[in-house]
Structure 1
Amino acid sequence: MDRRHPVASHRKPHAWAAALAFSALTGAVVAFVLMFPWAATRPALLIALAFILLSILSLIAAWRQDRDMARQLTARDAMLHAAFLSTPALTLSRDGLIQRMNGAAVALFGLPREAALGRAFSDLTAEFDMDAVLRSDAQAGHLENRRGYWTGRRADGSTFPLSLRFGLIPSTPGAGGSGEEHVAVALTDLTHSHAAEAQARELHAQLNKVWRLNSLGEMAATLAHELNQPLSAATAYIHASQAEMLKAGPAADAGRPPLDLAKGQLLRAGKLIHRMRELLTIETSVLGRERVSSMIEDLAPILQMIGQDKKVEVRLDAEAEADGVRADRIQFQQALVNLVRNAVEAAAERPGGGAVHVTGRVEGPVYRISVEDNGVGIAEADVDHIFQPLTTTKSGGMGLGLSVTRTIVERHGGALSAQRSPSLGGAAFAFALRRHEEASR
């Protein structure tokens, strides 16, 4: 294997070649002057001296370049050595037998090095197939598995998820046999990664549950408002009818009981709707001390997944200093998820690539959170009513997302605003929460 640095392999030979050429030319000039004394004139001596100086300078330059390349190679070797010590790695023969194993790999599988050497790697990694590696046309790359990860088996019988990368080792001329090192394998323990993904999925499910309850509450409030008017009108009509029947005297007595029953049922329907609204209305009686940067950081995996599904870049930039507020953590996160989801859907329609920026900044006594995208933005005709329930510009949308988000923000003492993003050109939604100094500590 050529261990030379790429720059060294191209530049160092040229430097030494130039130095040797000057030295040879200088020697020829000096020899000519010595062999032919009649040529030792003042100009000739000056020319010979110039060649000597150029030869010395070229040798010094070549030496300095060689020294610099040696330093670069030393630094690179130190980096590679550090990476090799920290990354679990091993080598396999053509038969899939372990030939070499570094300390990190020994610790990962929890078995003595002597017990691992000469053992089939498939004993430690289920479903590993050496023949599939040999049939691959690639010299290096990621080893795929139908489940997306491999399963490692420790000495105590416990299992853990693994990611494998391989690289073929060039064969040594004249060497051979089943014991020759043929493939180098780097291993990555995915235990923590899978645990983080499971935690993100659990949080996402919890947020979805809260979202459904919030949507039901908003829908109940909307229905209560819309149905209250016709119910009140019907009650008023019945009351007027009862007054007219009193004027009619005993002849109308037979019709009064049905009207009384109808009026009672209308009033009961109104109370039921009001009660349903109270039960499903978002509860914010308890606002705890929270840090905005922490709440956003917990959401990072979910927000990145939302962006990846639509091939939109989601960038998070929340200032962590003095970011303490009083908030319901789940409600706050649900409001932010909804704003980011809307922004991602808007930015996904941009041909040149979508981008969404979530920013958090301290502005005096408040902490301001903004969600901006580079989509088409909000039409001026829609700005005044985008927060109204059952208003949507999406096909198949219920029109409750921004309405619920605004309700959550208002229950936290803030106000949700919408405008054009000055930096990305799309929509920008923002709200501010009053800072709480004790929560920042």
Structure 2
Amino acid sequence: MAEELGLLIDGATSYAIYMLDTEGRVTIWNLGAERIKGWTEAEIIGSNFSKFYTLEDVAIGKPVDDLARAAACGRIEEDSWRLRKDGSEFLASITLTALRGAGGELRGFGKVVRDITDQKAAEAGLVRREDHLRSILATVPDAMIVMNEHGTMSSFSTAAEQMFGYAKTNVLGQNVSLLMPPIERRDQAKFLRDYLTTGGSSIIGNVRMSTAQRASGDVFPIELAVGEASIAGERIFTWFVRDLTNRQKTERQVKELQSELIHVSRVSAMGTMASTLAHEINQPLTAIANYLETTRDMIGDTKDGLLSEIAEALGLAAAQSLRAGTIVRRLRAFVDGGETGFGIERLDMLVEEATSLGLLGAHEAGIKVTMTIAAGLDTVLVDRVQIQQVLVNLIRNAIQSMATVACKKLTIATAPDRDGWVRVTVADTGIGLDPDIRARLFDAFVTTKEDGMGLGLSICRTIVEAHGGRIWADADAGTGAGTAFHFCVPLAGDDDV
């Protein structure tokens, strides 16, 4: 029996198995101990086991302490560094057992040692790789979700937490359908079953567009790629998810900018054409005014009532022709970037001239017009034609907004604003402002008219701001409906006179 036991001990070549007496001297030494530590049985029998310890451990009395602990506890287990015969060190898994007789007396110690240097190195390498993988998953911008063939999630990356708004601890173990909108959630289980049954791989490795749902309930567009792997006989799937919200927003903005660019190109072409037309039209307008005035002078003073009315009409027509010529010259200066005609103007006359042109057809449309010109605001420092252009634009817009309403009231008023400024108001009882465009009301190319270009209010803002003023709109004109537009222009000071 003893011989068979010796054969068994010597056959365990992966383990160093040896016996110590109560003082720590080696009494039995197997072939595994010889292979691992390097000493032969003849070399080591009778030697103290402290020679297997590093010099640092011997200096602190660890060999004696280990025997004392094993005697007290019966057995100790630990991983520690040990020496070979050639002086090299190795990491050992050690079990030291106290051997006692039938009466409990200490007979010696049995020791089993296994070299775990390579094992620990492999484990450390695995830990490093896992740490590296975790660091990648924590920083990669795309969400990564791992699930089994039933859709149960087993991994949820940091980017996935940020994208979907779920904490990892709240989703692991749940079905991936949690991340889908209701309309797609009910199809997920069927999709996985069909895929596993048919073995189809058309989606594996391919990128497709889909939608997902955040913890807040918001549905958003995603780009989805799916990977498949088999681990220990179990099929797992990995989702790589990219949030397309910002990309689609950027694409929409690009399309809007492209559309605006087309509008700008058209406006630029119109500006070139307007500059050319302004030069060509100005001369015939001047000629028309001269012909009209000459015809009026030819009638002269007459007692004939009809001829008097004709002469008066000819005078008004000549004045409007001259006014049209002035507008054309201002337009050309505006397009060419020339200087504008700032000057001191009487506010009441400026408003009256603008309304006479802007209110054409208002009476026939059944519109009641009220004008309120505040006292003490006599003169302003403006470009008369440009400010009249703003007024005419606002008045025509107001008339058009009241085309389909029963109550048609238009109010044109002036009032003091902040010190040194006067406020001009054009208010109507029309259909009011569309809430969708209220914030962009004065932006270029924003319009509610089917045939409009959306430049009128943008030009008005440019003109008013060029005067140092501001323009804005109120959704309620004080009558429960309609819109009130206001703009401010500077009063003429003593230094301007």
TM-score by length of 1: 0.40
Larger helix fraction of residues? 1
Q: From the CA coordinates, give the structure whose radius of gyration is larger.
A: 2
Name the structure, 1 or 2, with higher relative contact order (CA <8 Å, separation 6+): 1
TM-score by length of 2: 0.35
Larger strand fraction of residues? 2
